[in-house]
Amino acid sequence: MQKTRKPAKPRGGSKRLAKLDQLTIPATYDLRKVGVTQTLIVAFQCCRVRWLMLLNGLRNVLKNRVTVFGTIMHGLLERVYKDGVPTEAIRQKWIGQIKKEEPDAFRAVDAEQIESDIWMAESLFLGYCAYWKKDFKDKKAHQTEHEFAVEFNGVTVRGKMDVREEDKAGDVWLWEHKFLSRIEEDVLSAKLAMDLQSQLYLLADFHERGEWAKGIKYNIVRKPSLRPKAKIERGIDPEDPKGKRKLYSPETRIEYLQRVRADIMERPDFYFIRHRVTWTKRDREGFLRELSNKLNEMAKVIAGELTIWKNQAACIIPFKCDFLDACETGSLANYNAGPLFPELKEGKAAGRAIKSKKAKK
Ligand code: SF4
């Protein structure tokens, strides 16, 4: 549909693009020097137009791609594995830091929603620290988040790993934090075994250590699904002469949040689940082959050998695409250009890939 590789202003340049059909692959983009993340690869698989938008650093100013809840929860877990279980004052300080570091997560979200999400994340975090207290006894067993940049077939693959754990048997497991509302036990293993994010962690870890980890440990935090009650009995109406009429009112936000917090403390095993998926030779071979195919195809699009086309099947399934209104109207008025990899700390992962070791099959 669209021609690729037309000369274009680099992302963040002075020329502001107003129309979707003006969008091209940034002239500064390079698979080796700039590289890819899981987000970019998934976008490429789903829809090449979505990938092109992300490649230009475009973000919908009216919508967040991350949730306040997930951002706070992730930020707290990152810090607790680094610095240990915090006091109340330190936890509040961490929340302040997360808000400053991740402003995008709080954009276009109303104050009440932010407050509820923070309360929810804090409630789960308190329950988590109590339930998994053994984690914080041996600091050396858990290496915390770090950004990686590794070379694979001439492409720099970037990302941020959650936790690397060495268990008592000396096996290395890479963790991934997952915040899920619904957990279907029967599909969990299959779904997680196909998780590109985790596969990229395993690849990065292999390049960093020279051997494959045993697998992925999914550190699942279940998001409470309790809903505020529409009606709570509030005693007898003092104005009823018979003294029988009951008074009702909806559950207040504070009551609701307190009920959620109590539920987390009462049944932590429902909210905090760990699930291990072993990484087999067959898994590795399939993943390396597929990753290679995907990146080769991406290189061909960048070189103009393959075209960019809209995948209409991905516009609303499984969720509404952030770029739906751009595709519908052709206008980029609701989009701002920002950093290409907002999930990575600026400068840290830029420019240099760790020299690849030959992948053992
Ligand atoms: S709205 Fe549809 S066609 Fe447009 S970028 Fe999203 S998935 Fe692609």
**Which SS3 state, helix, strand or coil, does residue 361 take?**
coil
Q: What is the mean pLDDT of the chain?
A: 86
Residue owning the nearest CA to atom 3 of ligand 1? 310
CA of 313 to the centre of ligand 1 (A): 8
The set of protein residues with a Cβ atom below 6 angstroms from ligand 1 is: 47, 49-50, 310-312, 314-315, 321, 323-324, 327
What are the residue ranges of CATH 3.90.320.10 in the chain? 139-180+187-219+272-283
Ligand 1 pocket test: which of 63, 310, 332 has the largest number of ligand atoms within 8 Å of its C-beta?
Answer: 310
Q: Which CATH number fits domain 139-180+187-219+272-283: 3.10.129.10, 3.30.70.2520, 3.40.50.720, 3.90.320.10?
A: 3.90.320.10
Looking at residue 187, its pLDDT comes to: 72
Q: Each residue of 276-303: pLDDT tens digit? A: 989 899 989 999 999 999 999 999 999 9
Is residue 199 within a helix (H) or strand (E), and if so which, with residue range? helix 196-209
Is the sign of the CA dihedral 95, 97, 102, 106 positive or negative? positive
Residue 7 has pLDDT above 90, yes or no: no
Q: Each residue of 54-97: pLDDT tens digit? A: 999 998 877 666 689 999 999 999 999 999 999 999 999 999 99
Which residues, including other chains, have CB under 8 Å from residue 331's CB and lie 6 or more apart? 18, 19, 20, 325
For residue 36, report the phi and psi dihedrals to the nearest 5 degrees: -130, 160
| Distance of alpha carbon 72 from alpha carbon 83, whole angstroms | 16
CA of 209 to the centre of ligand 1 (A): 39
211, with CB counted inside 10 A (0-12, 13-18, 19+), is exposed
Q: Which two tokens stand for residue 297?
A: 């195809």
Looking at residue 6, its pLDDT comes to: 39
Q: Each residue of 302-334: pLDDT tens digit? A: 999 999 999 999 999 888 999 999 999 999 988
Q: Which of 279, 134, 142, 275 is nearest to 217 (CA)?
A: 275
Which pLDDT band holds residue 353 (cuts at 50, 70, 90)? very low
Looking at residue 309, its pLDDT comes to: 96
| Distance of alpha carbon 284 from alpha carbon 211, whole angstroms | 12
% of residues, the chain, pLDDT over 70: 88
